[in-house]
Structure 1
Amino acid sequence: MSYLLTTLTKKKEVDTIIRDTIDKVLVLRFGRASDTVCLQLDDVLCKSAREMSKFATVALVDIDSEEIQVYVNYFDITFIPSTIFFFNAHHMKMDSGTADHTKWVGSFHKKQDFIDVVEVSDSHSSETEWI
């Protein structure tokens, strides 16, 4: 299913999608297509993307790409998958019940779980940080 979502492998692609996604939540999944947890998350993201298309854009970021390492380091991606949210080119922080408020680590169990998180971020998008 992940083949239905845009996969970014270059820093410039990530820069562009962050800059150009306006008035929508941008969801970037950092991980690798060969990881089983990433594949499970990708399935949830793919099933949700169409339903959320009016208020969210979803893309996958390949952490094995050399050019992406600047983002891997910047966002301290040590566990995969890690999902990062943006609105109008601003990184959105969130409280997911962990000490790390910069990203969602792991998968979502159900499509509705993911949609609920994105809807909350969309409703709080005027605030760069939602906790």
Structure 2
Amino acid sequence: MSAFLPHLRTGWHVDQAILSEDDRLVVIRFGRDSDPACMLMDELLFKISGPVSQFAVIYLCDIDKVPDFNEMYELYDPMTVMFFYRNKHMMCDFGTGNNNKLNFVVSSKQELIDIIETIYRGAIKGKGLVVSPRDYGKVRKS
């Protein structure tokens, strides 16, 4: 599914994506296109790209091809999703202790839409940190 979403091929492209949106949330999935977690998240992101297009734009960035932000954003996980609004990094409390980024695959399209919409609504209200609609800090039982 990563072939269907726009890729940011250089650090300049990442910067321009973040800088160029005035009214929508910029969602960037950082990771490796071939990683299983990235493939799952890319599929979800592709499926929701239409429904969220009025308030969010989604990009992908391969951290091996564009290592410019790996240290700055602490991109050590196999898959990371970050959110930006009007050139500002948006943080979200998922209950995991890491408010800077989403570094796990959510279980459904609606769940991901709810997260993106919550962050967008917080962003337009001027909040730098929003609380996720669900607490992901609790261990899920199989």
Tell me the TM-score range normalised by the shorter chain: over 0.9
Question: Which residue pairs with 1:14 in the alignment?
Answer: 14
Distance 1:104 1:37 in 2: 12
Answer yes or no: is the 8 Å Cα contact 1:5–1:59 preserved in 2: yes
- 1:130 aligns to what SS in structure 2? strand
Structure 1 segments unaligned to the other structure (5+ residues): none
Offset, 1:127: 1.3
Structure 2 segments unaligned to the other structure (5+ residues): 132-142
Aligned length: 129
TM superposition score normalised by structure 1:
0.94
Distance 2:128 2:20 in 1: 17
Answer yes or no: is the 8 Å Cα contact 1:18–1:86 preserved in 2: yes
Report 1 or 2 for greater relative contact order, CA contacts < 8 Å, sequence distance ≥ 6: 1
Equivalent residue runs for 1:1-131 within 5 Å: 1-65=1-65, 68-125=66-123, 126-131=126-131
Distance 1:21 1:3 in 2: 22
For residues 62-87 of structure 1, what are the alpha-carbon distances to aligned partners after superposition, in whole Å with 9 as ceiling and x for unaligned?
1111xx32211111011121000011
TM superposition score normalised by structure 2:
0.87
Distance 1:7 1:108 in 2: 21
Distance 2:94 2:73 in 1: 16
Answer yes or no: is the 8 Å Cα contact 1:87–1:128 preserved in 2: no
Which residue type is aligned with residue 52 of structure 1? V
Answer yes or no: is the 8 Å Cα contact 2:5–2:46 preserved in 1: yes
Higher helix share: 1
Bigger drift between 13-22 and 69-78 goes to 69-78
Distance 1:5 1:21 in 2: 17
Offset, 1:11: 0.3
